[in-house]
Amino acid sequence: MAHIPGGEYLMGTNDPAGSPGDGEGPERQVTVSSFYIDETTVTNEQFVRFIKATGYKTEADRYDWSFVFHHFVSTRIAKTVTQSVADAPWWWQVKGANWRRPEGPGSTFRDRLDHPVVHVAWTDALAYCEWAGKRLPTEAEWEMAARGGLDGETFAWGDDLTPGGKHMCNIWQGVFPDRDTAEDGFAGTAPARSFEPNGYGLYNVAGNVWEWQSDWFSPDYHRAEPRKNPTGATTGVSKSIRGGSYLCHDSYCNRYRVAARSSNTPDSSTGNLGFRCVVDA
């Protein structure tokens, strides 16, 4: 785990190119106590140890389905798909998809042990954290760590998405959602230690997989929240997620920006959603 020294930083953004409806702004000074955070998202290999130790069943195991991006569904499995997300038809409800079988029956995680575990709901991530003696980060903690010591920058490494033409994260290139040219080297998840780490030694805080947070999501709570160790709204419908994923593209979802945020319901699972843990210092 990486040690994040306590202190003040500028959280959020005033950039009009952001997503105002998500409550990214205003930019404000926030104080966060020191903590430790996983250098990477939790990997399949780590999650296997948790499952073997506890026998835990994930939400996707219990529901017997999860959401898979349509490009990754085999022709055989595609014939059985009957439902997709109305506002995002590229997400297909695949029976039998879970963390062990990320693309549904016939797929496996075993050739991706060093990749982030996916198809984990917020409740599953919480169970893992409790087993490991850790917890999920607050949004304030996550953004402080993701910034890597940089204040006010668009990305975890600066303001240029591809400095000198170099890819710094695993996101979508091409035409979303039809063609991913994978110019960054990956279509789908990448190993958890891909690309250069940020200033605090954290990998893939932009792209690859979304990361669950402890906060209930609210687009306006933080406008009046305490400026010291904020923890988000006290209640809500969805939990916050941060960092974007391999499906993010500037034509649709440019939420690989460090101030960007989104949300999902606590029992939801998808093929681009994982988590990392923190502990108090």
Residue ranges of domains in the chain, CATH in brackets = 2-280 (3.90.1580.10)
Is the pLDDT confidence value at 17 over 90? no
When pLDDT is averaged across residues 150-179 and rounded to a whole number, the result is 96
Mean pLDDT confidence for 233-256: 94
Say what the pLDDT of residue 20 is: 75
223 pLDDT tier (thresholds 50, 70, 90): confident
pLDDT attached to residue 5: 96
* 48-73 residue pLDDT tens: 999 999 999 999 999 999 999 999 99
pLDDT at 51: 98
pLDDT reported for residue 84: 92
Q: How far apart are CA 41 and CA 177, in angstroms?
A: 25
Q: What pLDDT is stored for residue 15 in this prediction?
A: 86
CA 240 from chain centre, in angstroms, equals: 10
User: Greater confidence, 137 or 19?
Assistant: 137
Q: What is the pTM of this model?
A: 0.97
In the prediction, which pLDDT does 64 show?
A: 97
Q: Counting beta carbons within 10 angstroms of the beta carbon of residue 64, is it exposed (0 to 12), middle (13 to 18) or buried (19 or more)? A: exposed
* Omega of the bond leading into 16 within 30 degrees of 0 (cis): no
Closest CA to 72 of 16, 112, 122: 112
Q: Which residue, 160, 157, 185, 186, is CA-closest to 272?
A: 186
- State the pLDDT confidence band at 221, using cuts at 50, 70 and 90: confident
